[in-house]
Structure 1
Amino acid sequence: MTALFPYRDINIHASTTNYAFTSPSNPSAPTLVVDRPSGHIWLNDKPMTGGKRVTSIAGILGMVRLRLDKYIIVITKAVQVGRIKEHPVYKIQATEFLPLREKPLHDSDEDTYLQLLTTHLKNGPMYFSYSFDLTNTFQRQVHADQNLPLWQRADTRFFWNRYISSDFIDMCSASPAVNPYVLPVMFGMMSITATAVKSTPLSFILITRRSRFRAGTRYFSRGIDENGNVSNFNETEQIIITGSVGAGSTGYDKNTASQEKQQVQIMSYVQTRGSVPVYWAEINNLKFVPRLLIRSIDPAAAATKHFAEQVRIYGDNYCVNLVNQTGREKNVKEAYEGVVRSIVSNPIEGEKSSLRSEQQFRAIEPTEQRSIVDHVHYIFFDFHHECRGLKWHRALLLLDQMGDALEKQKYFHATESHAGLTVKNLQTSVVRSNCMDCLDRTNVIQSMLARWTLSRQLIDLGVLNAGEKIEQYTAFESRFRNVWADNADVVSRAYSGTGALKTDFTRTGKRTTTGALADGVNSLTRYYLNNFRDGPRQDAYDLFLGTYLPATSGITSSLMFVDRRPVFIQSVPYVFLGALVFLMAVIFTTSPPSTVLALRFFIGFSVLVVVWCGIFIKNHGMLYINWPKLNNLAWANEGYNDALGKVAKDKIIGKWVARHERGASSIRLVHLEEGKKRIE
């Protein structure tokens, strides 16, 4: 019978003609062979030992074709981060690229592709288990076919290496013996902690799974696409397990061996977050607050697809919108409300007040149940207005508004014994939260809802008495807060490049001046990264997830990552820095009197250069953004062309730009159209 779970140990036998993969602990299993340099995959019933190199690996991540060669990506090091019940969970620590050509071909593009993928794998938090499906919630696992291989049970949204595993997956239907070589990997956050509440040992687990659809960075991936996928979609599952605590890397605690006879209680609570499901973008232009663009395309069809899938998977969706009701964010709020009105049947809306607040909640509810999207409920909570002045405890007002819905949605609860798994309760709905980035405000609200539900679960288990709250137990409360703050940081780094804002409140329960200062530093860091470093990060997502295919791009030479801006445009920042350095040197250097007149002239000239260059860069900021190079952003291309056109029309410097570009394309991004290949 073919193994349903991935092999825990794999050896690579590398030779000049192939790579052969074997499992030492499964000597009867066929050898997986990848021919060099064709990449043809086949199985050999006989062991293929030998080769000039034999290496032990933790698993095969996948295989990717770049422009000049194909590479097998293998996991060379993984560390165990804990156990979910008896199942060990690992985090990827190191990977290696195995080229199919014996003498790999290189050019600047190929090296850049490899560097992008290497950095992505190094910085992306990726987890896997050989015996447990990390991509699915406990509730979904109950309904999964346990006779399927692990990778076939995986939720395709969170199967992060699904694209690069496609060569091996394609073989599985014809050769089921390939199944154990396919290892599904999850991108996101994982925390597994053995703890106790009122002397009751339990395993406290938090898992956040990031969707591979419409994945990207903060300003280069916003809103929804035509297939209903939204940016920065994450599913967070909070789990408590009693009766079997296996969070440590060494498995069960010997002192709790008696617990093995107890009935295992499993409780989980799921929330989601995702970008506002309309067509919108924030356009980088070097300003601290980018220009907001709500596209005129009707998002109703895409939003219907999005919510139809969400309702099918999670049940009723309670969409909590946390953006501001004034200023630039107001446009996003109104667009969201507009699309909800357009997709639900006979919507009824109005202001609702809590016992402690008036007219701060806006709700949109369907009055009929004619279609699947009539299970969408919209709630607006002006987070910044309610919590202004560091009064973040007022976020609890949202609980007043959602009390009935939270009671009705319940949570997943199952018991496990020698007789098997018994489901006692199912979660019937989900809270889908968002702010502008789905990061900072969103995480505060999600942790608040998770705490409320956790108290309810422990009361139902009999661990807490009726009326008690988990906040009363300071040791566990501190652990809970820090785990949720860590979750905020992981989700934020993947999207914005920095840790989350407002985590001082999540960690300590109050907003502090120190935390506000730290948020200021993080905001400045985000500004730098989002404008000058996120282009390559977006390219890495597109490359790893298969939304850009180098092998079929049509580019025949090393041109993809060449800076095509006019030399004059490229030189302005260097002139600015040079003049600034000269000014600093003069200020801090003493000079003889005979040179004062000359220095004054050069100082005056340098000041003029610095001021002119600064104004030029500020006025033409789009020319200095580090844009993605692989997949073209239509609005970025248009904005870049407009900015370059303005420079070309300048009476003084326009001729320098035009002269550089005469007879050639003036659009730095237009070459992307030649190589743009998308898998929708």
Structure 2
Amino acid sequence: MIYIPHESARVIHQDESRYVKMFQSIDLASNFYFSYSYDITHSLQHNLTEPKQFLTNNSEKSESDTLPDNNHGLLSSSVLPQRKEKQLFGIRTQPYEKFVWNLHLLSEARKADLHPDWILFVSHGFIGQSNINIFGKSVYVTLIARRSSKYAGTRFLKRGSNFQGDVANEVETEQMVHDSAMSSLSKSHCTSFVQMRGSIPGHWKQEMGKMVGKPAITIDFYDPFAETAGAHFNELFKRYGAPIYILNLVKQRERKKQESLLSDQFSSAVKYLNQFLPVDYQIVYKTFDMARKNKSSAKVLDHLAGIARSAVMKVGIFHNNAKYYSQVNGTVVGQTQTSSGSRQTGIIRTNCVDCLDRTNTAQFAIGKCVLGYQLCALGVLDSPILEFDTDCVRMLESLYEDHGDTLALQYGGSQLVHRIKTYRKTAQWTSQGNDIMQTLSRYYSNTFSDSEKQNAINLFLGLFKPEENQPPIWEFPSDYYFHHKPSIFSMKSLTQWWDVGVYKSLPYAYNDLTKSCSELIQVLSRDIEMIDSYLDFYRPYEFSVLDDVYGYKISNTVRDFMPSFTTNYSPFTVRVRPVKRREDVSQKGNTMKNPSVSGQSSTSSTASSTSSSNDGDTSEDDDSFASIESHKTTSKEASPEPATFKSLFPGTQESYGFEIKKPSQEDILLYKKYVLAGKRANGTAVNFLHSNLTTIRHISKFSKDSSLEVAVPTVKKESIEIYRNYVKLAKTGFNMPKHSDVEIFKLYAKLK
């Protein structure tokens, strides 16, 4: 923070120092991200979608301004006035404001019509990247979590939703997998999948008035027509399309109703909203009592795998290239109406009460299922089924552990308590001490420091603006009216709770079909300095140490997850071993602390828990999974088929679409004549070569060369003249052939 005016002009206010301290309590050095050359507030599918409209000066959309785009954001000069040389133009789009955290700080600059190059949008959340090394071929897995700036806050101070449908702890998680053989987004193979987490849309709270670990859940007021939930799902239809697949992980049966209150309210809201939608676009609502299943002997991750497969088959994934010929329909999922790949339509929305521990494990199960389909789309795998104890899945588990720890610190004040190993029941018993410390840390943060953190967030986002002769923010008993703006009575229908334009675009997302850009930018111009992503990343004109380059230090399946001594280098081979190499390194205290440099989150923790929450639930095991269509694969189905010659070496018909047949007898006789003619013509030369093999010696033209000096070889004048004519030919073009050459060619053609 820099004070611009001179010290003599400084006016010291009694509250200034406390406001400055509160503002600086937000650490801008971690978990805040920006990019000069890529819009991180939008998904990869939206960024690669061609724009349909151009915004005018008064920000009104005009259908007459529509220009085609066939290069994923690069417009050719064919739609613009023709010039002497071909021009290439890029587009500058507006960011998605929900995931921009410095919008209030940029408000004055945007009002003053400052040049966009001076305005940098910052997002909050998590970014992690890892490299799957497949026999030397690098496939990058990138995890981007975008935290919403609407109704943002800490755990017990922000629950449920506001009247505009913005829910607490709303995070959009995008899993991108791309082939690193080519860095261009428009030409390389890229896949992505978006899922989200968020609190149950409703008006409920948990007050930390008493010194208890779990405050009681209370409903502020009931919403019989589900207007708040309708506003929330209308926004999801607008951003992602249909269907919306809800995975509710809260408890279903309790002795004293707490979580089940929220589940009943959520279920009734979805039922009310669904009765006005057609069957194809209705919200899919599934419940899974994850805590109860974890207490029993049931395998939670196997149940979640069945849910994940059913959900992913409905929404699909995004892939920017067409599928291969040999790929069957079951390995590539998504809307494939065009020949240029597939699209994701819809979203998987996961929630528990806090949207932290259980939600992160469920999102990992979905991400594991999606990773199989993404690798199939890239042509790496033939089957989308991935086993748990493989280097590839261990790498993905590490990414989601860091992802969950970072979001838990931002919202709950501590790292994850119940981890993926907890629900797999593979955690070590020594990790229970770490779980106790994480629980105490979360309790201390929620009780004593969350209120100050919430004030800092409200100040940073501009929800509260200090004014003279007004009470400061710390004197307000609650920030309820900062986030719940008084709304004017709306005449919107209680049955048609969606926007008309959003409904007409289903199952596709309204934002993708009406994508607009605000400015054309000339690419690779000599007069305008453009951003080159390669130069911006590697900076070859500067001296840089290889160890400091982010792309070199990201986690690798070979370096961090593969055993030291192995003969099978495949990242998809099952390796049953108790401890990972990355865990060994982290236990020695050698983990990197800055996630933006090391590629590993500063919250990376390897401890897990086998403890389960001890509440007053009934001991009987109810089958809350009965309403879910399970696609669980048994161990017999998941076991690999025996290797045969046909499976190892598929025919050309299966791979490329044509079959190699045995040549005809006429072709064989013709080839025999060709071979005999070659033997007769070269027989003398071959015999001479064999008889003089002992006398042939290679004489080097560089016999005097050494590591210190190289002699320049002499080049004949004829060769130099040939090269000059070759260069001249590239500049001036072909010359007319001589008359004698034309006569020779005519004679040749006549004889032919």
SS of match in other structure, 2:174: strand
Residue of 334, 358, 369 corresponding to 1:452: 369
After TM superposition, list the pairs within 5 Å mapping 1:527-676 onto structure 2: 527-551=443-467, 554-555=469-470, 561=474
Matched, 1:319 2:319: no
1:405-444 equivalence runs, <5 A: 405-415=311-321, 423-444=340-361
Give the 3 Å change call, closer, same or farther, for CA 395–100 of structure 1 in structure 2. Answer: farther
Other-structure match for 2:502: none
What are structure 2's unaligned runs of at least 5 residues?
52-72, 75-88, 323-337, 485-752
Who is 1:488 aligned against?
Answer: 404
Aligned residue in 2 for 1:287: 212
1:185 and 1:632, CA in 2 relative to 1: closer, same or farther beyond 3 A? closer
Inter-partner Cα distance in structure 1 for 2:422 and 2:474: 41
Residue aligning to 1:304: 230
Whether 2:290 is the aligned partner of 1:383: answer yes
Tell me if structure 1 keeps the 8 A contact 2:162–2:483. no
User: What aligned pairs does 1:136-151 form with structure 2 within 5 A after superposition?
Assistant: 136-143=42-49, 145=51, 146=73
CA offsets per residue over residues 369-390 of structure 1, 9 Å max, x none?
A: 6xxxx5321111100111215x
Q: Which has the higher strand share?
A: 1
Classify the secondary structure of the residue corresponding to 1:481: helix
**Bigger radius of gyration:** 2
Query: 1:280·1:292 contact (CA, 8 Å) conserved in 2?
Result: yes
2:405 touches 2:415 (CA, 8 Å); kept in 1? yes
Say if 2:416 is the partner of 1:500: yes
For 1:116 and 1:508, the matched residues in 2 are separated by 41
Residues 1:160 and 2:85 aligned together: no
Q: Supply the distance in 2 between the matched residues of 1:544 and 1:506 (Cα, whole angstroms).
A: 36
Question: CA RMSD of the aligned region, Å?
Answer: 3.1
Q: Does 1:234 align with 2:234?
A: no
Whole-Å Cα distance in 2 between the matches of residues 529 and 633 of structure 1?
22
Q: 1:470 to 1:110 in 2, by over 3 A?
A: farther
Task: Give the drift of 1:501.
Answer: 1.8
**Where does residue 162 of structure 2 map in the other structure?**
225
Aligned CA distance change for structure 1 residues 388 and 123 (closer, same or farther; 3 Å): farther
Instruction: Tell me what 1:98 maps to.
Output: 3
Change (3 A) 1:532 1:465: same
C-alpha distance in structure 2 between counterparts of 1:113 and 1:555, whole Å: 14
Matched, 1:214 2:214: no
Structure 1 pair 431–560 and aligned structure 2 pair: CA distance change class (3 A) = closer
Structure-to-structure mapping, 1:53-202, within 5 angstroms: 96-100=1-5, 102=7, 103-122=9-28, 125-143=31-49, 145=51, 146=73, 152-172=93-113, 178-202=115-139
Letter in 2 for 1:498: S
* Structure 1 residues 400 and 507: CA distance shift in structure 2, 3 A: closer
Task: Call closer, same or farther: CA 1:261–1:329 in 2, change over 3 Å.
Answer: closer
Report Cα offsets for 1:323-379 as digits up to 9, x if no partner.
111332111111111211222217xxxxxxxxxxxxxxxxxxx6646xxxx532111
> How does the TM-score come out when normalised to structure 2?
0.53
Residue 486 of structure 1: how far off its partner (Å): 0.3
Change (3 A) 1:129 1:185: same
Return closer, same or farther for 1:263/1:240 CA change in 2, 3 Å cut-off: same
Q: 1:331 aligns with which of 261, 272, 285?
A: 261
Counterpart-to-counterpart distance in 2, 1:466 and 1:540: 49
Aligned amino acid, residue 318 of structure 2: F
Question: Are positions 1:275 and 2:190 aligned together?
Answer: no
Q: Secondary structure at the match of 1:121?
A: coil
**470 and 242 in structure 1: CA distance in 2 versus 1, 3 angstrom threshold:** farther
Q: Take 2:266 and 2:314, find their aligned partners in 1: how far apart are those partners?
A: 25
Once the 2 structures are TM-superposed, how far is the Cα of residue 505 of structure 1 from its aligned partner?
Answer: 1.6
Q: Answer yes or no: is the 8 Å Cα contact 2:101–2:122 preserved in 1.
A: yes
Seen in structure 2, the aligned counterparts of structure 1 residues 465 and 440 have a Cα distance that, compared at 3 Å, is: same
The residue identity in structure 1 corresponding to 2:382 is: N
Aligned partner of residue 189 in structure 2, secondary structure = strand
2 CA distance for matches of 1:216 and 1:377? 28
Distance in structure 1 (CA, Å) of the matches to 2:279 and 2:423: 42
Give the distance between the partners of 1:271 and 1:343, measured in 2 at CA.
21
* CA distance in structure 2 between the aligned counterparts of 1:470 and 1:180, rounded to whole angstroms: 46
Aligned residue identity for 1:302: T
CA distance in 2 between counterparts of 1:462 and 1:429 reads 24
- 1:209-262 deviation digits (Å, cap 9, x = unpaired): 00000000001111011111001100000111104377xxxxxxxxxxxxx899
Q: More deviation in 129-138 or 499-508?
A: 499-508
Compared with structure 1, are the counterparts of its residues 261 and 455 closer, same or farther at alpha carbon in structure 2 (3 Å cutoff)?
closer
What amino acid maps onto 2:118 in structure 1?
Answer: Y
Give the AA of the match of 1:385.
Answer: R
Identity rate, percent = 26
**Equivalences, count:** 427
Unaligned residue ranges in structure 1 (runs of 5+): 1-95, 247-259, 347-365, 565-626, 635-680
Letter in 2 for 1:159: V
Contact kept, 8 Å, 2:142 with 2:177, in 1: the verdict is yes
Counterpart residue number, 2:383: 466
Name the amino acid aligned to 1:329: E
Following superposition, the deviation at residue 311 of structure 1 comes to 1.4
8 Å contact kept, 2:195–2:347? yes
CA deviations over 1:647-677 (Å, ceiling 9, x no partner) = xxxxxxxxxxxxxxxxxxxxxxxxxxxxxxx
Q: Out of 275, 290, 293, which is 1:345 matched to?
A: 275
Q: Name which structure has the greater RCO, CA cutoff 8 Å, separation 6+.
A: 2
- Looking at structure 2, the residues matched to 630 and 116 of structure 1 have their Cα atoms a distance apart, in angstroms, of 19
For 1:450, give the aligned amino acid.
G
Greater shift after overlay, 186-195 or 376-385? 186-195
The secondary structure found in structure 2 opposite 1:396 is: helix
